[in-house]
Amino acid sequence: MKTSQRPNILFIMSDDHASHAMSCYGSRINATPNIDRIAEGGMRFDNCFCTNSICSPSRAAILTGTYNHINGVKSIEDHFDGRQVTFPKLLQADGYQTAIIGKWHLGHGGLADPTGFDYWTVVPGQGQYYDPIFIEMGIEKQIPGYVTDLTADFCIDWLDKRDKDRPFMLMCHHKAPHRPWDPAEKYATLYDDIDIPEPETFNDDYATRSQAVLEAKMRIDRDMNDIVDLKSLPPAGLTPLEEKKWKYQRYIKDYLRCVASIDENVGRLLDYLDREGIADDTIVVYTSDQGFFLGDHGWYDKRFMYEESLRMPFVIKYPRDIQPGMVTEAMALNVDFPVTFLEYAGVAVPPEMQGRSLRPVLNGTVPADWRTSMYYRYWMHLDEWHNVYSHYGIRTERYKLIYYYAEALGTSGSIEENRPPEWELFDLENDPYELNNVYRDPAYAELLPKLKAELRSLQLAVLDEPVQEVD
């Protein structure tokens, strides 16, 4: 039998928690002291990116280490086929105790139920904040309480019952801070007496940018009208700008209150590892399934390849192998996570996994052949709620090239109605907020063929197929 030298893995993931709402990433709007303990105890990744910035697809990529055209979860309407190879299955087969607790969001019943876990209890679909239903190993139960607290309670219960002679891999998946942003009662008045600062691009006028940006329904001023999200209507008599600011304060405060509960419960899990004396033997990760617009570009939501949505928070500690207080700019992807865990567990990585182990980076050396660009693809087209065009693109260390091909291509959850395709190019060094699309700027004309060749190369490397592109 392999011994306890193999690390335990505690993978904590929330839903829609952007890194610019974490103090270890320099948040201007909140503090997350417990998540910061993970960053301070190990490494913070400043360029961790999602291969498709939306919930279920990112979750499928993390389980399988593959892009969504391979794992079949291109949109939130697709269910996961549990017959696929996943890292929990491989760890389970190699002696790990495995569990997933909290949000699953990859379908329910038949092939879509979680596989590769000794124990699972998950909320159906998006789940509820208060008195949520959990499906425990196929049996539905409604449980009184607040979902973020309950998720951590169940994690601690499971850890308490573990076999201490074998390593564990626990996925603690929080529902929060996904909309409708219902805070716990204890945090209901947090931030009541202050105004949260607005982001730099709060009043973006979208000049120079694509029709895709104009048509997207995620503007705080125009599209945030759901009473379930806002809790009450704006007061009468406000100017349009005053109303936008009011909605932002309502939204961001509830979002950050939800984050406060997550941070508290991350602390409870870290304290548990300390009490049990297993903190040194445990890899702890905190991440989110993607980033989120926190009023950036006047938006809420995700989906776009823009930085705030593309970037995932990713902090990791493992005292036996990772020095504390490290920060890296090396580009990491969600498909790297399972490969990294398998390597640490000493389990062979299946060739179909498309990520790369982060271990050399975690040990302080970025390999000479490490990636300097990444491929992204958002498949849903004109979905009912947010109306975002389908697109793909690449991000290099300095540039971002996006092609809105704007077709459904049969992707579930899409509307089969084409739009004229469009390109966007951003020079992130000169324009870190992505306000100035320079695709037609002659100064970048020589660069374009190189970026398009790189896009093609990355796309083919992950076995995806380009559409017929127009200039």
* Contact set with Ca ion (CB under 5 A): 15-16, 55, 289
In the complex with Ca ion, the residue whose CB is nearer, 162 or 302, is 302
Cα 427 to Cα 50, 53, 241, 275, distances in angstroms = 20, 21, 30, 48
Q: Which residue is nearest to Ca ion (CB)?
A: 55
Distance in Å, CB of 301 to Ca ion, minimum = 10
Phi and psi at residue 189, in whole multiples of 5°?
-110, 5
Q: Are 48 and 330 in contact (CB under 8 A)?
A: no
In the complex with Ca ion, the residue whose CB is nearer, 204 or 289, is 289
Phi and psi at residue 367, in whole multiples of 5°?
-60, 150
In the complex with Ca ion, the residue whose CB is nearer, 289 or 307, is 289
In the complex with Ca ion, the residue whose CB is nearer, 55 or 458, is 55
Q: Are 52 and 72 in contact (CB under 8 A)?
A: no
Contacts (Cβ under 8 Å, ≥6 apart) of 146 = 129, 130, 184, 185, 261
In the complex with Ca ion, the residue whose CB is nearer, 56 or 328, is 56
Contacts (Cβ under 8 Å, ≥6 apart) of 350 = 65, 85, 90
- CA-based nearest residue to 72, from 63, 62, 59, 60: 60
In three-state secondary structure terms, 254 is helix
Distance in Å, CB of 50 to Ca ion, minimum = 9
Question: What's the CA gap between 225 and 213, in Å, rounded?
Answer: 19
How many CB atoms within 10 Å of residue 274? 11
Distance in Å, CB of 305 to Ca ion, minimum = 15
In three-state secondary structure terms, 309 is helix
Distance in Å, CB of 55 to Ca ion, minimum = 4
Cis peptide before 7 (omega within 30 of 0): no
